């Protein structure tokens, strides 16, 4: 048998959906059929997310570091054969097609991984998340061991030197938050992990909890030591069943190993951790709404004149950090704050994890140094736009984020730069859009989401979002009128100034940035009754360019109303009386023969 000792099967949520468990079972069955011991001679390990989600299930052979993509159970025999021979070419990363195709065997040969710098995700996709021994083997709990020999002040000083800022979106200095909480003498104190990730298209925190649960727990223990807390709560999104299971498994193992409980690693320090399931509302990701939810109250924000570090959970001093911030802490303590601060920019230290989805070729989980440009993320790591279509915009920061246009692709991604342009980093969701995205409809979609998720406690957010949604709906459906754009801007600025919490204050971002950078699209909808992207059905009609149509029939087979007809290998036509302008034909056409017009 070759030097390979392990076959790492990505069993993150995305790969599981594509059959990763079946792949792992097939590999184990194949190993046993050859008379080998699956746990001794050749081990199959189910890991967390490997990152490149659209290429899953992914199998990584270690230590030779061969990576196979889009693996199916039927590939098991060929994979085991490759341990003593050539790699299975059809399963390797490939660039190009046909005779010009190039195949790359190792992880770092794949551009998706080559420019990443992993700190939070360093163990995700590498170790079995259900094994405490596996976590310890890669340096797990070394940071805690170091922290137990330090004073609270020394721990906080290291975090301050690291420059770590809250990665849930606010970007508040973590060390400053910890020092403030440590300064209060009110007990008990609490440390809380915010795992209520609710942004559409975001899965960074969920993947981290699934793939490296002990890193989050270790970060919480270190934080508890720093502020003097003996109780901690992980508030985890209700839909994240796998993440909750893995966190609970890790908590149970930590208690058994003496890492949690009344004597942390044999010392006088104690900490108890428990999980609370999220309330199922986007607003519960807001700090005070989250604490209300933990207490069994309605998940709505509290006034901010008293900070949570002074009076938070059960009106006691509380530190709330998100998953990514806490998972960074073990590395900071293990290597030192100065070493961590070498990565990133002057004001935004370390790395940031992003979930990159949408019209990008390689979707998935990405971790890069702060200050990496949008262009690097989209083109160097993401591989560019699907079908090599023109890039149009990227939505950063989730539903409350902003849309950044093509001429700003060289902006560095950090807390302060994005804010200057009306966007924000948020928790790390990124949605890439091509030229077939309507920016007015994008704004309407996000405002509709936020309108439904608003708790309704404050009038500016509750009523302002409803009015913005009504105006945007009118524009998309052909009822827009002069003055609507200016009214949207006034409403947006009112929400920014007068809303109670960050949900309302940031909610106008998708509207204000799309007006700022794509005002011509709003004007086309209102003045010309035309949707330039061909998305808004009330303002769009489709027809087929006879010169480009090859008569392949893909468009007619995709049409849900049988509005397209034509003979094979001859130009097809669309019956406009039947067409509902759904765009299915345009998505199906490989020859760019479907054209749009205003109605």
pLDDT in tens, 411-426: 999 888 888 887 777 7
Asked if residue 532 belongs to a domain, the reply is: no
d(CA 563, CA 385): 29
Asked if residue 124 belongs to a domain, the reply is: no
Span 37-41, mean pLDDT? 80
- What's the confidence (pLDDT) of residue 263? 96
- What's the confidence (pLDDT) of residue 489? 96
Span 255-277, mean pLDDT? 97
- What's the confidence (pLDDT) of residue 466? 95
Span 25-39, mean pLDDT? 91
Domain interval for residue 495: 439-527
What CATH number does residue 59 fall under? 3.40.30.10
pLDDT band at residue 256 using 50, 70 and 90 as cut-offs: very high
Please spell the DSSP secondary structure of 156-197, one letter per residue: HHHHHHHT-B-TTTT--BHHHHHHHHHT---SS-EEEEEE--
Asked if residue 259 belongs to a domain, the reply is: yes
pTM of the model: 0.92
- The verdict on 201 and 144 lying in the same domain is yes
pLDDT band at residue 200 using 50, 70 and 90 as cut-offs: confident
- Which of these three, 291, 319, 341, is where a domain ends? 341
Q: Which of 66, 53, 67 lies closest to 18, judged by CA?
A: 53
pLDDT band at residue 333 using 50, 70 and 90 as cut-offs: very high
- What's the confidence (pLDDT) of residue 282? 83
What CATH number does residue 391 fall under? 3.10.20.600
Residue recorded with tokens 């899965």: 203
Assess whether pLDDT exceeds 70 at residue 154. Answer: yes
- What's the confidence (pLDDT) of residue 386? 92
- Kindly report, residue by residue over 172-198, the tens digit of the pLDDT: 999 999 999 999 999 999 999 999 988
Share of the chain above pLDDT 70, in %: 99
Domain count for the chain = 5
- The verdict on 180 and 245 lying in the same domain is yes
pLDDT band at residue 206 using 50, 70 and 90 as cut-offs: very high
CB distance 177 to 309 below 8 Å: yes
d(CA 43, CA 28): 8
CB distance 525 to 536 below 8 Å: yes
- The verdict on 301 and 365 lying in the same domain is no
- Which of these three, 434, 451, 480, is where a domain ends? 434
Largest CA distance in the chain: 82
- Kindly report, residue by residue over 536-567, the tens digit of the pLDDT: 989 988 899 999 999 999 999 999 999 999 99
Assess whether pLDDT exceeds 80 at residue 98. Answer: no
- The verdict on 242 and 148 lying in the same domain is yes
* 36 Cβ contact partners less than 8 Å away, ≥ 6 residues apart: 1, 42
pLDDT band at residue 279 using 50, 70 and 90 as cut-offs: confident
> What sign results for the dihedral spanned by CA atoms 106, 107, 112, 115?
negative
- The verdict on 252 and 161 lying in the same domain is yes
- The verdict on 278 and 307 lying in the same domain is yes
d(CA 356, CA 15): 16
- What's the confidence (pLDDT) of residue 3? 54
* Torsion on CA atoms 116, 121, 125, 128, rounded to nearest 10: 160
Assess whether pLDDT exceeds 90 at residue 41. Answer: no
- What's the confidence (pLDDT) of residue 332? 97
Assess whether pLDDT exceeds 80 at residue 40. Answer: no
Written as six digits, the tokens of 221 are 């223990």
Asked if residue 16 belongs to a domain, the reply is: yes
Q: Which of 405, 389, 402 lies closest to 590, judged by CA?
A: 389
- The verdict on 491 and 420 lying in the same domain is no
- Kindly report, residue by residue over 500-527, the tens digit of the pLDDT: 888 888 899 999 999 999 999 999 999 9
- Kindly report, residue by residue over 369-425, the tens digit of the pLDDT: 999 999 999 999 999 999 899 999 999 887 888 899 999 999 999 888 888 887 777
d(CA 35, CA 48): 28
- The verdict on 364 and 466 lying in the same domain is no
Assess whether pLDDT exceeds 70 at residue 599. Answer: no
Q: Which of 167, 64, 154, 78 lies closest to 109, judged by CA?
A: 64
* 540 Cβ contact partners less than 8 Å away, ≥ 6 residues apart: 530, 531, 534, 581, 596, 597, 598, 599
Span 126-142, mean pLDDT? 96
* 55 Cβ contact partners less than 8 Å away, ≥ 6 residues apart: 69, 70, 93, 362, 364
Question: What phi, psi does 294 have (nearest 5°)?
Answer: -60, -35
Asked if residue 126 belongs to a domain, the reply is: no
Share of the chain above pLDDT 90, in %: 75
d(CA 142, CA 553): 62
d(CA 266, CA 258): 7
- The verdict on 404 and 321 lying in the same domain is no
Assess whether pLDDT exceeds 70 at residue 4. Answer: no
Written as six digits, the tokens of 320 are 């709330």
Gyration radius from the chain CA atoms: 26
- What's the confidence (pLDDT) of residue 36? 85
Asked if residue 534 belongs to a domain, the reply is: no
- The verdict on 334 and 211 lying in the same domain is yes
Span 262-289, mean pLDDT? 92
d(CA 493, CA 488): 9
d(CA 191, CA 295): 14
- Kindly report, residue by residue over 281-331, the tens digit of the pLDDT: 888 888 899 999 999 999 888 877 678 999 999 999 999 999 999 999 999
- The verdict on 28 and 72 lying in the same domain is yes
- What's the confidence (pLDDT) of residue 199? 80
CB distance 28 to 38 below 8 Å: yes
Written as six digits, the tokens of 456 are 């309704």
What CATH number does residue 512 fall under? 1.20.1440.230
d(CA 300, CA 526): 37
Assess whether pLDDT exceeds 70 at residue 53. Answer: yes
- What's the confidence (pLDDT) of residue 423? 76
d(CA 572, CA 117): 50
Asked if residue 373 belongs to a domain, the reply is: yes
Written as six digits, the tokens of 469 are 């949604």
Asked if residue 58 belongs to a domain, the reply is: yes
- The verdict on 444 and 426 lying in the same domain is no
pLDDT band at residue 13 using 50, 70 and 90 as cut-offs: very high
Written as six digits, the tokens of 348 are 């935004």
């Amino acid at each position: 048998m070759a030097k390979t000792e392990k076959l790492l099967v990505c069993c993150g949520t995305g790969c599981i959906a594509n059959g990763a468990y079946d792949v792992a079972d097939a590999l184990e069955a194949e190993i046993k059929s050859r008379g080998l011991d699956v746990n001794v001679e050749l081990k199959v390990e189910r890991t967390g997310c490997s990152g490149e989600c659209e290429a899953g299930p992914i199998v990584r052979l270690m230590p030779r570091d061969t990576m196979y993509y889009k693996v199916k159970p039927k590939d098991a025999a060929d994979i085991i054969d490759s341990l003593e021979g050539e790699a299975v070419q059809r399963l390797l990363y490939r660039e190009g097609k046909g005779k010009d195709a190039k195949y790359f065997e190792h992880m770092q040969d794949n551009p998706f991984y080559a420019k990443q710098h992993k700190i939070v995700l360093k163990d995700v996709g590498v170790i079995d998340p259900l094994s405490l021994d596996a976590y310890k083997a890669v340096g797990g709990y070394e940071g805690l061991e170091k922290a137990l020999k330090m004073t609270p002040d020394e721990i906080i000083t290291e975090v301050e030197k690291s420059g770590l800022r809250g990665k849930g979106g606010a970007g508040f200095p973590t060390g400053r938050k910890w020092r403030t909480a440590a300064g209060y003498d009110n007990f008990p104190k609490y440390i809380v992990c915010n795992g209520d990730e609710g942004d559409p298209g975001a899965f960074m925190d969920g993947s981290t909890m699934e793939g490296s649960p002990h890193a989050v727990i270790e970060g919480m223990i270190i934080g508890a030591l720093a502020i003097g807390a003996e109780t901690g709560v992980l508030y985890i999104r209700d839909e994240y069943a796998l993440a909750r299971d893995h966190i609970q498994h890790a908590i149970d193992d930590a208690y058994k190993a003496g890492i949690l409980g009344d004597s942390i690693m044999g010392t006088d320090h104690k900490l108890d951790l428990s999980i609370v399931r999220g309330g199922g509302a986007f607003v519960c990701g807001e700090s005070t709404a989250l604490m209300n939810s933990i207490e069994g109250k309605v998940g709505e924000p509290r006034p901010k004149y008293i900070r949570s570090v002074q009076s938070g959970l059960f009106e006691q001093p509380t530190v709330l950090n998100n998953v990514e911030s806490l998972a960074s802490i073990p590395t900071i303590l293990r290597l030192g704050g100065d070493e961590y601060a070498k990565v990133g920019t002057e004001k935004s230290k370390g790395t940031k994890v992003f979930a990159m989805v949408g019209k990008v070729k390689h979707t998935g989980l990405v971790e890069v140094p702060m200050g990496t440009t949008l262009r690097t993320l989209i083109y160097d790591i993401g591989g560019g736009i699907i079908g090599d279509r023109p890039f149009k915009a990227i939505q950063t920061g989730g539903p409350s984020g902003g849309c950044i246009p093509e001429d700003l692709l060289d902006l560095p991604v950090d807390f302060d730069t994005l804010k200057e342009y009306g966007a924000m980093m948020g928790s790390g969701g990124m949605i890439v859009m091509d030229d077939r995205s309507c920016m007015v409809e994008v704004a309407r979609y996000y405002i509709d989401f936020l309108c439904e998720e608003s708790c309704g406690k404050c009038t500016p957010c509750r009523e302002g979002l409803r009015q913005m949604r009504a105006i945007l709906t009118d524009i998309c459906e052909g009822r827009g009128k002069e003055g609507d754009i200016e009214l949207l801007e006034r409403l947006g600025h009112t929400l920014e100034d007068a809303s109670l919490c960050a949900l309302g204050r940031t909610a106008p971002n998708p509207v204000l940035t799309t007006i700022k950078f794509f005002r011509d699209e709003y004007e086309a909808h209102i003045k010309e009754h035309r949707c330039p992207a061909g998305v808004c059905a009330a303002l769009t009609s489709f027809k087929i360019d006879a010169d480009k149509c090859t008569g392949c029939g893909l468009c007619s087979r995709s049409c849900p109303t049988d509005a397209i007809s034509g003979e094979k290998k001859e130009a097809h036509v669309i019956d406009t009386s039947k067409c509902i302008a759904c765009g299915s034909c345009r998505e199906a056409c490989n020859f760019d023969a479907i054209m749009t017009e205003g109605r």
